[in-house]
């Protein structure tokens, strides 16, 4: 199968645009620090061995066990909370930190709608073959299986087709094989429904990262960043933060995506082209919309 039908694109890392995007993400540094500390153990095992020797005078048995981990990161959480964008910027930052180059490919789940149902296992095979090919001598290769629940649904699901079960089995096998690539690949899987993912896959994840809608402080930080240059008093900003929170929105607050890609553009549309963006426009925009509904468990 031609690469173009499986992958949305192959991005070469590092990429300037992704670095910029990282700077605009609230809470990114904290998230990255955690992933990196974990994945470094897999991607740079020699450094870990050196650390063990320096600090313990020998190779700790635990170090050998670490090599049995899988370079798999699961990104789980509600819609519009930053799973897809985080996978990309984490990969970009990782190659920068490790002073390497790399590739990032994304397995498209669009194939579902293209009548390729029975070819899912083949698709998974192709994706990992491509990953292996890209993980050249000194390069890192990242694969994002976005909305992975479309492929990696628990095999315990009663109405699952044989072909789908085969795809999950293949996926597990391929994840197992990534360990042979000795720290040159990382697989990300994103999902809105962590509990739908096959248990054997979840068990293999080195990290399961939870993504949530922004809390009060995060909403404030995001609005301050996005609206830098708009004259808002602290009281007005606080009001916008409150109006977009769960308390006044039947328990569900605005997602990062709601704030950035819906609320602010809507307010700009009210002001543009002949007025500046004001608190009044932002407040009117909030009044015109509701937070996106949460993904039903
Ligand atoms: N931590 C964050 N700080 C600022 N903006 C964010 C953050 N997380 C997400 N966003 C914004 O929200 C938008 C949606 O993010 P993304 O597509 O990664 O969400 P997602 O979790 O993959 O959603 P879905 O489950 O619907 O695919 C992006 O445009 C991004 O700019
Ligand atoms: Mg996504």
Best residue among 28, 29, 30, 81 to mutate for probing ligand 1, ranked by most atoms within 8 Å of CB = 81
CA 291 distance to own-chain centroid = 21
Same domain for 196 and 223, yes or no, is no
Q: Which of 256, 259, 293, 295 to mutate to test the pocket of ligand 1 (most atoms within 8 A of CB)?
A: 256
**Which ligand is located closest to the Cα atom of residue 146?**
2
Whether pLDDT at 111 is above 60: no
Q: What is the mean pLDDT of residues 60-64?
A: 90
Is the pLDDT at 6 greater than 70, yes or no?
Answer: no
Would you say 103 and 141 are in contact if contact means Cβ atoms under 8 Å apart?
Answer: yes
The ligand 1 atom at the shortest distance from the C-alpha of residue 211 is 21
Cα distance from N-terminal residue to C-terminal residue, the chain: 34
Give the structural domain span for 274: 216-288
**Residue 133 vs residues 26, 126, 234, 245, 253: alpha-carbon distances, Å:** 34, 10, 53, 46, 43
Are 137 and 76 found together in one domain?
A: yes
**Tens-digit pLDDT profile for residues 116-126:** 556 788 888 98
86 alpha carbon, closest ligand: 1
187 assigned to some structural domain: yes
The two structure tokens encoding residue 47 = 């450094």
Residues 150 and 207 in one domain: yes
| Domain limit, last residue, from 176, 193, 211 | 211
b or e along 87-126 (b: 16 or more beta carbons within 10 Å of the residue's beta carbon)? bbbbbbbbbbebeeebbbbbbbbebeeeeeeebbbbbbbb
Average pLDDT over residues 216-239: 97
Q: Kindly state whether residues 174 and 249 are assigned to the same domain.
A: no
Whether the CB-CB separation of 104 and 238 falls below 8 Å is answered with no
The ligand 1 atom nearest the CA atom of 190? 22
Ligand 2 centre to CA of 242 (Å) is 26
**Which region among 3-12, 41-50, 54-63 has the lowest average model confidence (pLDDT)?**
3-12
**Same-domain status, 138 and 156:** yes
Number of domains into which the chain is organized? 2
- List phi, psi (to 5°) of 101: -115, 165
- Of 152, 190, 156, nearest to 172 by C-alpha is 152
Q: Find, among 187, 166, 165, the residue nearest to 176 by Cα.
A: 187
Q: Nearest ligand to the C-alpha of residue 223?
A: 1
Instruction: Say if residue 119 is in the same domain as residue 178.
Output: yes
In a domain, 293, yes or no: no
Say yes or no: 155 and 283 in one domain. Answer: no
Q: Give the whole-angstrom CA distance, residue 44 versus residue 36.
A: 11
Residue nearest to atom 8 of ligand 1 (CA): 82
Rounded Cα gap, residues 59 and 52, in angstroms: 6
Instruction: Tell me, yes or no, whether 235 lies in a domain.
Output: yes
Distance CA 218, CA 99 (A): 31
The whole-number pLDDT of residue 249 equals 96
Q: Would 37 be classed as within a structural domain?
A: yes
Q: Which of 211, 232, 254 is the last residue of a domain?
A: 211
Which tens digit of pLDDT belongs to each residue from 132-168? 999 987 899 999 999 898 888 877 766 777 777 888 9
Token pair 């015109």 is at which residue?
288
Ligand nearest to the CA of 261: 1
Task: Return the pLDDT at 8.
Answer: 67
Cβ 1 under 6 angstroms from ligand 1: no
Asked if 172 and 189 sit in the same domain, the reply is yes
Assess whether pLDDT exceeds 50 at residue 2.
Answer: no
pLDDT-based confidence at residue 42 (cuts at 50, 70, 90): confident
Candidate from 23-32, 56-65, 284-293 with smallest mean pLDDT: 56-65
CATH number at residue 53: 3.40.50.300
Tell me: do 132 and 253 sit in the same domain.
Answer: no
How far away, in angstroms, is 258 Cα from ligand 1 center?
Answer: 9
Atom of ligand 1 nearest to the CA of 75: 21
Task: Decide: 292 in ligand 1 pocket, CB within 6 A.
Answer: no
Sheet holding 185-191, edge to edge: 7-13, 101-107, 139-145, 185-191, 72-77, 207-211
Residue with tokens 């089995």: 169
Residues 66 and 142 in one domain: yes
Lowest mean pLDDT among 27-31, 127-131, 149-153, 224-228: 149-153
Residue 80 lies in a domain: yes
**Quick one: which atom of ligand 1 is closest to the CA of 78?**
25
The verdict on the CB of residue 191 being under 6 Å from ligand 1 is no
Is residue 194 a contact partner of residue 81, using CB atoms and an 8 Å limit? no
Look at residues 154, 181, 211 and tell me which one is the last residue of a structural domain: 211
Full-model pTM: 0.92
- With respect to residue 70, please indicate whether it lies within any of the assigned structural domains: yes
Is residue 4 pLDDT above 90, yes or no? no
Statement to judge: residues 108 and 238 lie in one domain: no
Same domain, 49 and 180: yes
């Amino acid at each position: 199968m031609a690469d173009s039908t499986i992958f949305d694109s192959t991005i070469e890392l590092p990429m300037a645009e992704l670095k910029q995007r990282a700077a605009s993400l609230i809470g990114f540094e904290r998230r990255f620090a955690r992933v990196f500390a974990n994945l470094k153990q897999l991607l740079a095992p020699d450094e870990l061995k050196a650390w063990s020797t320096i600090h313990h005078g020998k190779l700790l048995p635990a170090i050998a066990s670490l090599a049995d981990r899988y370079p798999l990161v699961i990104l789980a959480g509600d819609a519009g909370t930053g799973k897809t964008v985080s996978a990309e910027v984490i990969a970009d930052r990782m190659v920068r930190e490790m002073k390497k180059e790399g590739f990032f490919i994304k397995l498209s789940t669009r194939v579902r709608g293209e009548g390729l149902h029975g070819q899912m296992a083949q698709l998974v095979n192709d994706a990992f073959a491509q990953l292996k090919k890209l993980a050249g001598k000194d390069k890192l290769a990242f694969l994002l299986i976005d909305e992975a629940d479309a492929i990696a649904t628990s095999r315990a699901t009663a109405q699952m087709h044989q072909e789908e079960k085969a795809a999950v089995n293949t996926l597990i096998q391929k994840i197992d094989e990534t360990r042979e690539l000795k720290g040159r690949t990382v697989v990300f899987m994103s999902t809105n429904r962590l509990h739908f993912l096959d248990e054997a896959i979840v068990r293999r994840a080195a990290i399961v990262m939870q993504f949530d809608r922004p809390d009060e402080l995060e909403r404030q930080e995001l609005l301050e960043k996005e609206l830098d240059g708009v004259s808002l008093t602290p009281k007005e900003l606080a009001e916008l933060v409150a109006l977009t929170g769960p308390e006044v929105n039947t328990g569900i607050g605005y997602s990062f995506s709601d704030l950035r890609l819906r609320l602010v553009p809507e307010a700009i549309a009210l002001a543009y082209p002949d007025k500046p963006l004001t608190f009044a426009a932002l407040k009117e925009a909030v009044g015109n919309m509701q937070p996106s509904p949460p993904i039903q468990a």
